[in-house]
Structure 1
Amino acid sequence: MANDTQIEALTGKALLKKVKDLENLSKEEKAKACGYYTLTKNGVERVNMMKFLNALIEAEGIQLDSTQGTNGRGGRSASYRITVQSNGNLLIGSAYTKQMGLKPGDEFEISLGRKHIRLKQLEGDGEYYEDDEE
């Protein structure tokens, strides 16, 4: 390893310029040169391609998480499907919480059915939130 200090990950225009300057390198080498890597306890370098690619997308001004309906161009729409993770947890993504206008600290009561899980939003006083759309 040539140096022991990790550079700060580039973002925005600086990231785009650096990637263009390194056009002859592999994508892993570009990611590393732009600071998108970590060092393990054993000193092994691990390139974080997902963070690198997400930073490139953001630097280009492309929005993948859209709060507006999609018209076939750009953005992602919520699939309304989730999968149980390997640790047994369910993770509800930010696309759904943003769509509902939820904020950190909002509380829900969980009720389990035979083949379903229902979340009921609670008001700050523990009462149920009445939603007109149901």
Structure 2
Amino acid sequence: MAELATTPLTGKALLQKVKELPNVPRRETAKACGYYSKIKNNQVRVNLAEFYDALLAAKGVALESTKDGRGREASYRVSVHQNGQIVIGANYTQQLGLKPGDEFEIKLGYKHIRLVKIGDSQDGSETDTNEA
């Protein structure tokens, strides 16, 4: 069995350690690279997800998410609720730089809804219009 690292390896050190252990099972490789924690009764729990993330980062593959850290990702889709309302989430209003109190005129098209910010030019060349 390979010697366990006390702190998780990253970068070139991680890649080198993985190359040194070509025939070792992946759980043992993760443990040897420091991706484990001790739980009840001094048992070892292997953190494979952290190991794979570190391995991908060491190889230069970025897996950054667009999530805001609070749960959901912006899907750029909405659905009509049972009460007939459509709710546009905070992710979208933040991306557009909207502030509380901003007002819009609703323009209905054949298959779209256009929100025109009140006070913007109304000649069809506005830049702050959005379709839902």
Distance 1:18 1:41 in 2: 28
The alpha-carbon distance between structure 1 residues 34 and 113, as it changes in their structure 2 partners (threshold 3 A), is same
Between the two proteins, the alignment pairs up a number of residues equal to 94
1:126 is aligned, of 100, 110, 119, to: 100
Please identify runs of 4+ aligned residues in structure 1 that moved more than 4 A: 122-125, 128-131
Match of 2:51?
52
Counterpart secondary structure, 1:8: coil
Match of 2:81?
113
Unaligned 5+ segments in structure 2 are 104-116, 118-127
Q: CA deviation at 1:132?
A: 2.6
Distance 2:5 2:41 in 1: 15
Distance 2:72 2:62 in 1: 20
- Which residue identity lines up with residue 53 of structure 1 in the other structure? Y
TM-score under structure 2 length normalisation: 0.54
Match of 2:21?
22
Does the alignment pair 1:92 with 2:72? yes
- The percent of aligned pairs where both chains have the same amino acid is 38
- Which residue identity lines up with residue 55 of structure 2 in the other structure? L
Contact 2:37-2:44 within 8 A present in 1 as well: yes
TM-score under structure 1 length normalisation: 0.54
Q: CA deviation at 1:21?
A: 0.8
- Greater CA radius of gyration, 1 or 2? 2
Counterpart secondary structure, 1:57: helix
Q: What is the alpha-carbon root mean square deviation over aligned residues? A: 3.8
Q: CA deviation at 1:52?
A: 0.4
